[in-house]
Amino acid sequence: MQAFGPPDEGPLQGFVDSHVETYGGQHWASTQSPAGSLYPRGSPMLLHQEVTKARELEMRLHTFSMFGIPRLPPEDRQHWEIGKGSDSGLTIEKSWKELVPGHKEMSRELCHQQEALWELLTTELIYMRKLKIMTDLLAAGLLNLQRVGLLTEVSAETLFGNVPSLIRSHRSFWEEVLGPTLRETRASGQPLDPVSLQDGFLAFRQRFQPYVQYCLRVKQTMAYAREQQDSSPLFRAFVQWCEKHKRSGRQMLGDLLIKPHQRITKYPLLLQAVLKRSPEARARQALNAMIAAVESFLQHINKQVRHSEEQESLVAAAQRMGPYEVLEPSSEEIEKNLRPFSSLDLTSPMLGVAPEHIRQLLLEGPVRVKEGREGKLDVYLFLFSDVLLVTKPQRKGDKAKVIRPPFMLEKLVCRPLRDPHSFLVIHLSEFQCVSSALVVHCPSATDCAQWLEKTQQAQVTLQKLKAEEYVQQKRELLALYRDRDQDQECQGTRPSTPSPEGSQKNTEERNPELSTIIPHLVVTEDTDEDAPSVPEDTSDSGYGTLIPVSPRGSHSPLRRLRPWALRRNYRLAFSTLDLQDVTLRPQPSDPQAPQRRSAPELPEAIRRRSSLLRGEAPTWSEEEDGNSVGGNVVVETLHRAQLRGQLPHSPTHTDSAGESSWASSEDEEEGLLFLRPHRTPSPRPLRAEDMLREIREELASQRIEGIPEPRDNRPRKLTRIQLQRMRGPHTVQLDTPLSTS
């Protein structure tokens, strides 16, 4: 154990003596402190505290030297990897030749290969011991001193926070990769085999992931250590004691903190030395794969470090920017409204560029600008990766005020002028026309050429980054569609076109219960009172509108053919087209549950194709119009027709010219053939009473939700509006052999 003298001969002797001398000479009385402080500046109490802490620190360090550093609580020992693992497994022979008896018969090149492999193993153990110095000596000593109230201002987490994770990673790497190779050579006496290390090095990124965090923080950690040593004499004395300790091997604190960064970058060099001395193809292939895996991880670390440094530089540059005052408001009210939009955030991501690319400050300097016919103005330019800022230094402070709107580089055009010290800056709008222009006068021709060159390079780089991001997004989108198609193929379905019919078809395939179309024939009553509230349509006022409760809605092929069918034959009613190719949903199983009232299926005789003969309107009185009651218009119309004897059993009615008013050409019949279902003629015509009875039975068995039941079965006479519609230019066709006026 390293011998230490008595406490008065320790590293703090000079520090303590200087304070005692100062206190004894009464130098503290020359300075005064603000009133109200607990210990006035220069007071003997403050100096006495410092001397007391210095003497206490010296006594504690002497105790550590004599009896060792006390054990920390279990939770601290587990966190800091103090005393973890056995050092017996971290031992190695002085040379590989002690393990290989036949090393004298080996070739010179193979011996060089073994020397390179042995260097990899020995340096790994040396490095692990140096990591343990930071935890078992420095961190453990600092934590013990803080438990007694010393050096509490120093953060052990900031100094050595990530070192325990590095120790765990290297211990696992030794026990699972390097150690087994060494044990195999000890047992067999054969040379070290580099191929046995392949699996461990191929997982290099996963094993040593904590190095990313350590390399990102190593600069801040070393700066923090220097700052604490400069500002705290007690911490400086503690560090000097640790550096002289026998366990440290005369290692300085700064050297220990930089060791992880040096070690992780040394692995490719060690493997390349082995590759250089490996003639076998199998070994060379394995070593090349190992080197590629390590270098890939190092590139990832460098990328993360560079990204962090660029972010820090951007934050520093953004902090130099002062207020954003590109306009001069004419009143306080206008200034108040402009204030929410008068800020510039340079730390925001660049538009159209991948997030890993950070905005960088490329060039800055003082120039003079001239805008229009105004005089020259002294400004300070900042050229970033995607924007050019025109600022003016403020008199107070080191910040610059932004006095012009940002000039986006993708919209910027720079042209040299006859004057070698000047160039023209043109900012374009979205329409590629001039938005603003500035003449920039540089201090020298060299500065002018540098501004033009840097701006052009920044524009080329920005355009390249945007193109790469665009291509990457396209690739990701294509990969997404490919994955979706593969998933659909695995499920046995093919991707469909984004059409409503296709979407409905897929929906019906997934939900068979939705494939049944439920026609709801809503029978509307059109009276003078409710006429304004009902939208006009050209369908039969007796039948009203068809409301299918189906996801197809208005996108069915039949509905798309409706305009064409109406042009071919204007007498076709909307209800006629809607009632074609319609199936009814089965009745609900629970008769007590609320049921919907749907339209009845018309009798076969009524569904037979026929025409409605134009005739004279039925007669009624003005008084009867007001006494009309609500009911089923179809039932009442048929009942009225029966009472008045207007049910001729004529298959076809002719107009005054002797031709059928519903006759159509052969091509029209052929074109509309698919719209009309096949009908089997009834063996005998039904009487009006039979038809009326069947309709009533159907209405009793099927109900339409929201439609009130008829209050009575009295035949209802036509209203005036119904008569006007029947007299209108549209002729309504009912698929029934009955014809009423």
For 141-198, the pLDDT digits (tens) are 999 999 999 999 999 999 998 999 999 999 999 999 999 999 999 999 999 999 999 9
Cα–Cα distance for residue pair 136/163, rounded to 1 Å:
11
- pLDDT averaged over the chain? 74
- Of 21-30, 43-52, 84-93, 119-128, least confident by mean pLDDT is 21-30
For 509-539, the pLDDT digits (tens) are 444 443 333 333 333 344 444 444 434 444 3
Residue 450 has pLDDT above 90, yes or no: yes
Residue 675 has pLDDT above 80, yes or no: no
For 306-340, the pLDDT digits (tens) are 999 999 999 999 999 999 999 888 899 998 999 99
685 confidence band (pLDDT: 50, 70, 90): low
Q: Which tokens is 168 given?
A: 């765990």
Cα–Cα distance for residue pair 164/173, rounded to 1 Å:
14
Quick one: pLDDT at residue 717? 61
Query: How many Cβ atoms sit within 10 Å of the Cβ of residue 298?
Result: 18
Cα–Cα distance for residue pair 494/688, rounded to 1 Å:
54
Instruction: Calculate mean pLDDT across residues 87-101.
Output: 86
Per cent of the chain over pLDDT 90 is: 49
Quick one: pLDDT at residue 724? 67
Quick one: pLDDT at residue 510? 42
Query: How many Cβ atoms sit within 10 Å of the Cβ of residue 514?
Result: 15
Instruction: Calculate mean pLDDT across residues 106-126.
Output: 95
Quick one: pLDDT at residue 484? 80
For 203-218, the pLDDT digits (tens) are 999 999 999 999 999 9
**Domains annotated on the chain, with CATH:** 46-317 (1.20.900.10), 325-470 (2.30.29.30)
Instruction: Calculate mean pLDDT across residues 406-423.
Output: 95
Quick one: pLDDT at residue 177? 96
Give the 3-state secondary structure of residue 389: strand
Is-above-0.75 flag for pTM? Answer: no
Residues 6+ apart with CB under 8 A from 514: 507, 508, 550, 551
Per cent of the chain over pLDDT 70 is: 60
Instruction: Calculate mean pLDDT across residues 635-658.
Output: 50
698 confidence band (pLDDT: 50, 70, 90): low
634 confidence band (pLDDT: 50, 70, 90): low
87 confidence band (pLDDT: 50, 70, 90): low
For 485-495, the pLDDT digits (tens) are 787 777 765 54
681 confidence band (pLDDT: 50, 70, 90): very low
List the helix and strand counts (H, then E) for the chain: 27, 9
259 confidence band (pLDDT: 50, 70, 90): very high
Tokens 């343990």 appear where? 132
For 457-496, the pLDDT digits (tens) are 999 999 999 999 999 998 988 888 888 878 777 776 554 4
β-bridge mates for residue 428, sequence order? 434
Burial of 260 (0-12, 13-18, 19+ CB in 10 A): buried
Instruction: Calculate mean pLDDT across residues 713-729.
Output: 61
Cα–Cα distance for residue pair 678/253, rounded to 1 Å:
99
Instruction: Calculate mean pLDDT across residues 100-119.
Output: 94
Distance of CA 102 to the CA centre of its chain: 61
Query: How many Cβ atoms sit within 10 Å of the Cβ of residue 269?
Result: 10
Cα–Cα distance for residue pair 570/560, rounded to 1 Å:
16
Per mean pLDDT, which of 430-444, 561-575, 663-677, 720-734 is the most reliable? 430-444
Quick one: pLDDT at residue 693? 72
**β-bridge pairing 400-402 and 321-324:** parallel
Quick one: pLDDT at residue 690? 73
Quick one: pLDDT at residue 638? 59
CA dihedral 620, 622, 627, 630 (to 10 degrees): 60
Cα–Cα distance for residue pair 317/562, rounded to 1 Å:
68
Q: State the alpha helices, DSSP H only, in 627-687.
A: 633-644, 666-671
Quick one: pLDDT at residue 21? 36
Per mean pLDDT, which of 40-44, 83-87, 441-445, 513-517 is the most reliable? 441-445
Quick one: pLDDT at residue 491? 72
Residue 445 has pLDDT above 70, yes or no: yes
Closest CA to 300 of 430, 412, 212: 212
Instruction: Calculate mean pLDDT across residues 250-275.
Output: 95
Give the 3-state secondary structure of residue 369: strand
Q: Which tokens is 304 given?
A: 């993360």
Residue 598 has pLDDT above 60, yes or no: no
